Structure formats: structure tokens, C-alpha cells
Structure 1
Amino acid sequence: MRGRIYFRHEIDRNPEVSEAGTINACVTMVTMDEPVRTFPITWLADYVMEDEGFSSREDINDLLMKEGFPLEPDLFMLTEIARKGIIEVTSSRDYSPEYALFLNLTFRDGISLDEIVEDDDTNIYIPYYCIPFRPASELAVRSLTKNIYYKTSSIVGDKCIICLEEFKEGARIVTLPCGHEFDDKCIVDWFATSHFCPLCRFEFPT
């Protein structure tokens, strides 16, 4: 299985009392042979930030296995990426344990999102509690600056931080006002559930 992970997060600095101090994750598995499965996980921030509370990818693997997710070798590698992403967010200056953190983790094999959408037999249902993010306004998304990518050297090229793949020669990329660049489709999909730059948290209108 050729796996891929999409990792999105949003920090609520003024959360509801019931959500303060929590990390709320929506985990989705998309494969060609199985129905799409989605489930929520909630951790206490203090537990995740403890040295022994979330110290290995086995913490995520155990949660996924309890839900019956097929943890093949490629997926074990992806859960390590997810773990590092969570640790990076909770260790950043933008985050504090009294905030509410919302995560969207999507594990999928090599199929494209277009294939999923075009398959009438595939019913992707994501519960409302798994989409706490506010999308960017349609006007803001339509106004994004788009360019054609040309590689300038023979060394490893730039990559889109969302899909973690290198930009392809001649591909269309988007440059945000903050200067960060992303694959066109990736950033449009991102802004469907978030109004912040994935890297620097530059805020877009909602």
C-alpha cells in the first residue's frame, strides 16, 4: 500500500469551557478496498505534553487498531509522521495547554481525491464533530496568486508541506500573502476547512 497522510490543525485560543485544555482529533482512513472510516479521539493536553504521555507512535497505532484500521507497514510509517506533527504543534509558541487544539488526520492509499468523488458507490460521511474548522472565504480563495513552478537547480526541489511531495515542473502552485507556497489543489482543499496558512498561521477572511 502506498500511503499518504494529510495533517491539518487549528488552535482555538478562546475555547468553550468544555473544550479548554483538550486535543480533539478526527482520524479518517481512506482505501480502495474498504469503506471510509472516521472516528474522533480526545486527549487531555497535559497528557499529550508529558514526556511519557505521547512518546511513541504506538500510542496512535493502538488507537487505530482498536478501531479496526489495517495497520500495514506503510501506515506504521505514517503514524510516526502524525506523532511528530502533533508534538511539533503542541511545542510551538502558538500553542498553550489551556487552548483547544483541533486536528484532522487523514490516512489514505495511492488513490486520488478525484477518484473518490467520482465514485458514486463511495459514500464519505464525516460527522459534524470532526469538522470544527472555519473555512476561508470563497473570495479569498479565488484571489490567491497562482504561478507555474519551474525548478531552478538539479538538487532536491521544493515541496508542498501539505502533501509532502515535491513540486512538479510546470505544475501550478499558489503563493500566499505571507510568502509560503503550496500545490494549488492542496491549498484549496486546505482552505475548505481552515482559514490559516499551514506554516505560519497567517489568517485569511472567513
Structure 2
Amino acid sequence: MLTVRFARLLLLAALAVLPTLSHALACKEGGRNGNVLITEDIGTTVAVPVTENTGVPIWHSSQRTVNVHCYKDNNVREAEEVYFYPNPRPKQGQPQGVQFGVVYKGQAYYQTERIPTGFSIPQCPSNVSLDKCPAVSFTLSFQVEIATKKPYPGNGQVGINQFEVLQFDGKYGINNAPNSNLVYKVTGLDKIRFIQCAVKVWLNPPNNTLD
């Protein structure tokens, strides 16, 4: 009797874990065996005066055009829309003084909610095995943008060097399986500095050259 009860407890525990695993959509760049990470460094030092208002863009990535391939890595047969999920790793540490946005189809999104890409993975017929469900491939372009966000850190530093900005995923949330979904990560955040003053120079006449 104890053995049967123990087996039932194990089964219940396994079922409790399943929703976090089964409601997952896999999306990669270029195919099922494709790339799962886009990394971009911000490049040179960015100086931000502490007098700057919140929401002022201070950096944007190059225009990224990616070929995304999504397939069902779950037990869900219904059609699913593909989204950008901002901040897919909330425990990675939060940067100070900045916020991250996605520029898609000419619109900048600074929010914590998911952003629809406009592409969907089709429904999987009931007579098809899960590993044979239809997949979807599409090409889209986007940019990542960094903007100011008060309060600014007193030590003048963002506090972290890298940040996973977004992940491509389905409507049931983040797929946390390793190497399963395409992620965009920005690095070099230690090059952002918050300075106490800004200097503006006016030339008179305007066409003079400042040495």
C-alpha cells in the first residue's frame, strides 16, 4: 500500500512540473539546429548627464534581420502567436538608470508585457504525432534601444555588464529549457556613465572650427 501511495505522490509531483515544461514553444534562428543567441556590444563609452529626463534614447543596436524558425516543444496543439518577451531572465539583475526597448515596425516598445510579432505557428492536427506538428519560419527585422530611466545611480554606473533583453516565444510564456529559444543579449553596459554635468559649446560665427 505504501509503495502504491508513494508512486502516486511521484506522479502528482511530475504532473505539477509539467505545465512549466509542456507550455513551451521553441524558436531558433535558421532552423531546429539553429542559433539561440544574438549578442551585441554597445561599443564606445556613453556619457549621460544626470540632468537628463527619463525616456531619452542613448543607444540603439544595428538593424537586425533574423530568420526565425518556431516549432512545438510542448503538448499544446492549438495555434500560437509568436511574441518578443522582454527581460526573459528577471533574476539576472536589474540595471540602474536605464531601460530597454524593442523597435519593431517603426514603433518603440518600452514595457514589461510581451510584444506580438504578427506571426503564428499553425494548429497541430489530432492525427499527427507531436514531433511532426507543423512549424513556422519567418523573417523579421528589429532594433534594441536603451533609454534613460530615473533615478540615476549615485556611483555613475549601471551596475551590470550584460543583459538579456528579449526572447522569442509562444503565448504560454517563457521556455526555460537550455538552448531552446532565440535570445538577444546586449553587453558592454559598464561603458555607460552617468555624469554630474554637461558642457555645451556655442561657436560664433557657427562655421568656426573648435580646436
- When the two structures are superposed, what TM-score results if normalisation uses the length of structure 1? 0.26
Larger Rg: 1 or 2?
Answer: 2
The structure with the largest strand share of the pair is 2
Identify the structure with bigger relative contact order (alpha carbons < 8 Å, sequence gap 6+): 2
The structure with the largest helix share of the pair is 1
